[in-house]
A and B are shown apart, each in its own frame.
Chain A
Amino acid sequence: MIEASEIETKLLDFLKREVFAPEVVVTPETDLLASGFDSMSLVRVLLFLEQSYGFWIPEGEITGDALQNVRSLATTAARVLNAR
């Protein structure tokens, strides 16, 4: 069982480090799309999760709701990873 909170922490670190510009403040509530998150960012995130958990989360699982913020993305990822 992977906790959503664990994924959230990892994602926050990854997004700060590799996706967003240094000046962007990233919190669990950050609106991803409004901060410039695009399809290439999603590719990077899915690759990161695949590397961390050994499973490719199908793109189709990522809905607009999942991309609301970092927390919802982590919750979606946890759901898919735990259901595999």
Chain B
Amino acid sequence: MNLTELLDQTAARWPQKPALIEESTVLTYGELAREVGEWVSRLQTLPIDVGARVGLAFPNGIAYVALTFALWRSKVVVVPVPTECPEEEIAEIAATMQLAGILTPKPRGECVVVAPDCHFTKLNPATPPDNHGLNLAFIRFTSGTTSARKGVALSHETIRDRVRSANQAFGITADDTVIWCLPMAHHFLITIVLYVEVGATMVLARHVTAKPLLEAVNRWKGTVLYAAPFHFSMWARDNSGAQIPSVRLAVSTTCALPQNVAEDFFKRFNLPLVQGLGVIELGLVALNTTAPREKWNSVGRVAGEFELRLVNPDADGAGELAVRGPGVCDAYVAPWVSRTEIMRDGWFFTGDIGRLDAEGFLYLLTRKTTVINLAGRKVFPEEIETVLNRHPAVSESRVYGKLHPHLGETVEAEVVLSSAEAKLDTIHAFCREHLASYKIPTRFTVVAALPRTPVTGKILRAAPVA
């Protein structure tokens, strides 16, 4: 199957129904399907083979959605490239994902003009990619060290399965209008694809501040809000008095919801914020639609057809969360690890430590992984340490998350300098050259030595510090 069939079915059923609204532009499903067709014709002129992987470095917009479906129709694997990535990160994504090329709105070196606002830079992977016979649609690049598994691969069938499972929890229908605020490069599959399948309308809200957002909700009669705690916190403090009575579901995603945000938002709009647990390898595992007020800090009961269990629980019942169900990723890409090898005895170990209450509501406590969550963006300490350690004045470094009341965590670094004259300014500037700006540590501390584990002598990973 191909995911574009979902769009075709919706376009055939509701050709006049608005699919995407951006500013004052309203694009119907019929028009979206035609636009996808036009992109397919333009893409045919490019040197892209079936099964090739192409980087999509576009900002949120109608073109992002249309290009994704057009690439899928062309049997090309989409690899989102966040627009905030500096050249060096793009080069790393291109090399490890073996991209055949990259699509950007602006020209980028030697490139082919696909459309006035779309350019294709051809790349020449050292070896052609091997998709191991899978009908791949999508690879999410995940950075990390050289030893980490890079890239989560999903086939068309897998995405369809996880979208359908997720909607058993979301319950989104053609009557819904979703107000969209998150970067599509980081969120697309169990959201945008789901909305397309059910024929919902998506309003692409470009402005994040309260007033224009609330105006957009009321102008388009939004029924679903999908955003990060940071957004909800901003809107909760709006003092215009405007209400949003059309909204029936407000989903807070990307990082843990602080209690004050949940309460402030409820007080302001009389609407509970719903938390869930989304995992890139799995899809939507849980969603708290049934008790968002009473159990505001729970990610809810297990969603759709997923099953979960807590492994090696302690005396309080807290254990590592293992999950199985539909839509588990097909493979890790570099190095290639198949689904069967990823699963342990048929279960996926998420690295999260969780607890279940008597009614089956899941609470996330801590996690075993070291990923830092900065207002919803995942930051891998190892990636930043690799850059820091390349600076001539740094002999070693340790990057960790610092708990922040409004953002989840912020990125901080400890560095051991190789020369007393080294200036932190130059290290900071070096980071700017090599990392997306949100990954640059907000604080550097010079230390004489880093703590190490007694047995292996490895640098001790720090838990988030308060």
Q: Is the CB of A33 within 8 A of B231?
A: no
Inter-chain CA distance A75–B405, complex, in Å, is: 24
Of B161-169, B172-180, B234-242, B393-401, which stretch is located at the interface?
Answer: B234-242
A18-B437, A51-B443, A59-B230 in contact; A40/B377 too (CB < 8 A)? yes
Q: Is the CB of A67 within 8 A of B442?
A: no
A18-B437, A19-B437, A56-B406 in contact; A38/B208 too (CB < 8 A)? yes
Q: Answer whether residue A2 sits at the interface, using C-beta atoms and an 8 A cutoff.
A: no
Inter-chain CA distance A61–B210, complex, in Å, is: 10
Inter-chain CA distance A62–B236, complex, in Å, is: 12
Quick one: which of A18, A47, A67 contacts B407, CB cutoff 8 A? Answer: A47
Interface centre among B181, B228, B234, B236 (most CB of A within 10 A): B234
Q: Answer whether residue B117 sits at the interface, using C-beta atoms and an 8 A cutoff.
A: no
Count how many pairs of residues, one from A and one from B, have CB atoms less than 8 Å apart in the complex.
65
Within 8 A of B (CB), among A65-79: 66-67
Q: Nearest Cβ distance between residue A32 and chain B, in whole angstroms?
A: 11
Q: Is the CB of A59 within 8 A of B406?
A: yes
Q: Nearest Cβ distance between residue B377 and chain A, in whole angstroms?
A: 7
Q: Is the CB of B234 within 8 A of A43?
A: no
Closest to A62 in B: B209
Q: 12 A-B contacts, Cβ less than 8 Å apart?
A: A17-B429, A18-B437, A33-B206, A36-B59, A38-B208, A39-B375, A40-B84, A43-B374, A51-B443, A56-B405, A60-B234, A66-B209
Inter-chain CA distance A60–B233, complex, in Å, is: 7
Hey, which chain A residues are within 8 Å of B233, CB to CB?
58-60
A17-B432, A47-B410, A58-B237 in contact; A33/B437 too (CB < 8 A)? no
Q: Is the CB of A64 within 8 A of B209?
A: yes
B residues adjacent to A (C-beta < 8 A): 59, 84, 181, 183, 206-212, 228, 230-231, 233-238, 374-375, 377, 405-407, 410, 429, 432, 437-438, 440, 442-443
Q: Is the CB of B238 within 8 A of A40?
A: no
Closest to B86 in A: A21
Hey, which chain A residues are within 8 Å of B429, CB to CB?
17
Q: Nearest Cβ distance between residue B435 and chain A, in whole angstroms?
A: 10
